[in-house]
Amino acid sequence: MQLPDEAIEYTFQRLLAPLPDAWTPLAELQAQHFLSPERVEQMRTLLNAVRGQVAAERELQNPPAKLQPLQAGFIDLPQKTLDAYRRKGDASELGRTLRVATRLKENTDRVVILGIGGSYLGAKALFDSLCHACHNELPAKLRMGKPRIYFDGNHLDNDAQQELLELLENTCVEPEEAGERWGIVVVSKSGGTMETAAAYRTFRTEMQKFYGPKSDWMKKLIVPVTGPKGKLRDLAKAEGIADEDVLTIPDDVGGRYSVFTPVGLLPAAVMGLDVRALLLGAAAMTKRFLEEPFDRNPVLQFAAINHLMNEEAGKKTRVMAIWNKKLESIGFWYDQLLSESLGKMNRGATPITSVYSRDLHSRGQQHQEGTRDKVINNLIVRTAKHSPVMIGMADRNEDDLNQFSRRSIPDVLEAAIKGTNQAYQEAARPSADLLLPSVSEHTVGQLMQMLMLATVVEGRLSNINPYGQPGVEAYKKNMMANLKAVPNLPKGEVADAVKGK
């Protein structure tokens, strides 16, 4: 059950061109760069048809070639996961996920999550938005037993990886001490992604040195999350990891749509988040998408407005302006979602994540007076989690802030949001607001499901298949060919390289 004040909203009226009483230069600019209310109204019939198409795609067992690949399993997954957990409890996929997460939480102080793209961005978004901003620096007591979380396997930066290995080597000395043990969650649907596979081999070698090659901890504290078949599942079996400890990414869910599979739910549970609230939020959003009319349907609204801005108004750059610093990784997750889903056939908007008001002091000038190729979606949180930080009085007033002594940081934020949107309006720069009542598992679940559903709808509106990412495979193929062409080091030099000489 979702209460009205828990629901997220998308308000876009500010980027609709008003009917001017008389001609003015601003009215002319707004007519050129905003949307007409009539055009948005004309979209309703098409949107209902596309919604029906997306809903029908959930049931297709053998989709026609023109729809392939089709990976619509994410749409109903949150509710199906909750239903299975209610029926089967610990025997369900969510039950297994929670059990494995509990084992990691109870037996480690650090967990390294290995994955790239959709295999880690969702988990990173959940960590940054819902955990304490200084989580890894807090003592164990203030973390309430939740492990420190690190992300790797998402790059090819030798030094960054080596420095995380050094941290583990120098802070984890005694494997019999729970406060010094560490574990690995390795996420790869195929198991063949080079960045993650290479990192897993490296971190597993470090783990062998720490625990000993025959230690039972190796089998208990490594958790693979992978597809029903593939290299990682085969490797886990060869390493003696029990089948029930290998969590599965469904075949009908693509990587960038997988945050509500064990890809995101296992890390979330290890972090101590309420995964059922996440799923309830996502399921509530799916229900709104399928049942609510356009006026109360943020999925259809977001998809329609951004589709029209991209395809008809020439706004090829889509800025996610995030007014809550902790949500920045939500923006990075959406960058990948949009880019891989709709960046095809020489089309698709280019996403940019900005954190306001921070980036108003860098990109803000370009957004305000630069090329008119942008639509700005403000991501705004209505209510802060903590008590307001007051500016307060001071003995020295050279900064002239005593006049604002009774104002708080949320007051300054509200003034900045209003002032920025006013400036955009006066310069005919289109912007809309995506409003969260607060930052919680329930609202973040709604938000992420809304953006996934809107991306699929936008793809269908544009006749672009929102599933699959054929362009990504090109670099992988070339990388493997180039890697094979590199001559092997002689054995002595390999040993020196391993030792860091």
- Residue for token digits 């020439």? 314
SS (H, E, C) 360-390: HHCCHHHHHHCCCCEEEEEEEECCCCCCCCE
**Residues 228 and 206: beta-carbon distance below 8 Å:** no
End-to-end CA distance of the chain: 61
Q: Which helix H or strand E contains 127, and what residues bound it?
A: helix 121-130
Q: Where are the beta strands (DSSP E) in 88-232?
A: 110-114, 148-152, 182-187, 222-226
Q: Which residues are catalytic?
A: 340, 361, 476
Q: Which of 409, 363, 413 is nearest to 386 (CA)?
A: 409
**Residues 331 and 319: beta-carbon distance below 8 Å:** no
Q: Read off the amino acid at residue 491.
A: K
Q: CA-CA distance, 280 to 174, in Å (whole number)?
A: 40
**11 vs 225, 234, 392, 435, 439, CA distance in Å?**
38, 48, 34, 8, 18
Grouping H, G, I as helix, E, B as strand and the rest as coil, residue 320 is strand
Q: CA-CA distance, 434 to 378, in Å (whole number)?
A: 6
Q: CA-CA distance, 168 to 200, in Å (whole number)?
A: 14
Got the DSSP string for 414-447? HHHHHHHHHHHHHTT--EEEEEESS-SHHHHHHH
Q: CA-CA distance, 371 to 299, in Å (whole number)?
A: 28
Grouping H, G, I as helix, E, B as strand and the rest as coil, residue 20 is coil
CA 498 to chain centre: 35
Q: Which helix H or strand E contains 236, and what residues bound it?
A: helix 231-238
